[in-house]
Amino acid sequence: MIDVKEINDPKAPEFEGFSKIYIESFPPQERPDLETIAHRLTDRISRLFVGKIGDRVVSIALLYALKNPNFVLLDFIGTDSQYRSQGLGTQMMNYLGETLKSRQIHLIIEVEDPQYSSNFKQGERRIEFYRRLGAKILENVPYLLAPFAGETPTKMKLMIWPDYGQLCLSGSLLTELIYDIYQNLYDRDRDDPFLNSFINDIPETIQLI
């Protein structure tokens, strides 16, 4: 069982444990540098949660606050390679779920599309992980993860969680959320070619499946 703790200060000793898992879990094109994350924590733009066993950080979750106060983005979630397949990711998500539900906040989740992944089964497992928790896929929504390094975006699916019983989401609302993510998290303007390759194809009404 992990002890979950929120870290607000990048100078806290747990930030080093976060950094290790973060770097080993995500390729460079999918993650901003640690200095950027440190600034976001200091500015209270991001919230960092770490799961500990004893003094060791074994799981991490980073949330990014969107301008719409009813939504946050799951920026990253990961587990120490020596502690995987032990349910620690589920424990972390359950903790986050209680935090979100207390304020009726929706979590937007970016998940690599298995159809375009180098490891289809791994991609399917990630989606199933969130589905078991009750997350829903935003049906027929095209989405690209803009690269932080290199020039190749990653094709993704968007999911939403917790399940508050809604059956659909407004396309105009999602469009504004994506503009926010691209401009303020990815540091790309509204003329960005990756953004404009899909933003106009978002359905007017999005079914949650």
Based on the fold, state whether residues 110 and 180 are members of the same structural domain. Answer: yes
In whole angstroms, give the CA distance from residue 40 to residue 46: 5
Based on the fold, state whether residues 116 and 188 are members of the same structural domain. Answer: yes
Q: What is the mean pLDDT of the chain?
A: 95
Based on the fold, state whether residues 92 and 30 are members of the same structural domain. Answer: yes
pTM: 0.93
In whole angstroms, give the CA distance from residue 45 to residue 47: 7
- Residue 162 is encoded by which pair of tokens? 């917790």
Based on the fold, state whether residues 1 and 88 are members of the same structural domain. Answer: yes
Instruction: Give a yes or no: residue 69 inside a domain.
Output: no
Based on the fold, state whether residues 180 and 200 are members of the same structural domain. Answer: yes
Based on the fold, state whether residues 83 and 171 are members of the same structural domain. Answer: no
In whole angstroms, give the CA distance from residue 71 to residue 149: 26
Cβ–Cβ under 8 Å, residues 100 and 162: yes
For 17, the domain range is: 1-64+75-101
What pLDDT digit, counting tens, does each position of 143-172 carry?
Answer: 999 988 888 899 999 999 999 999 999 999
Based on the fold, state whether residues 81 and 169 are members of the same structural domain. Answer: no
Share of the chain above pLDDT 70, in %: 100
**Residue 48, H or E segment:** strand 46-53
Based on the fold, state whether residues 141 and 160 are members of the same structural domain. Answer: yes
Domain count, the chain: 2
Mean pLDDT confidence for 25-53: 93
Mean pLDDT confidence for 41-46: 94
Helix (H, G, I), strand (E, B) or coil at 83: helix
Q: Using the predicted structure, report yes or no on whether residue 118 has a pLDDT greater than 90.
A: no
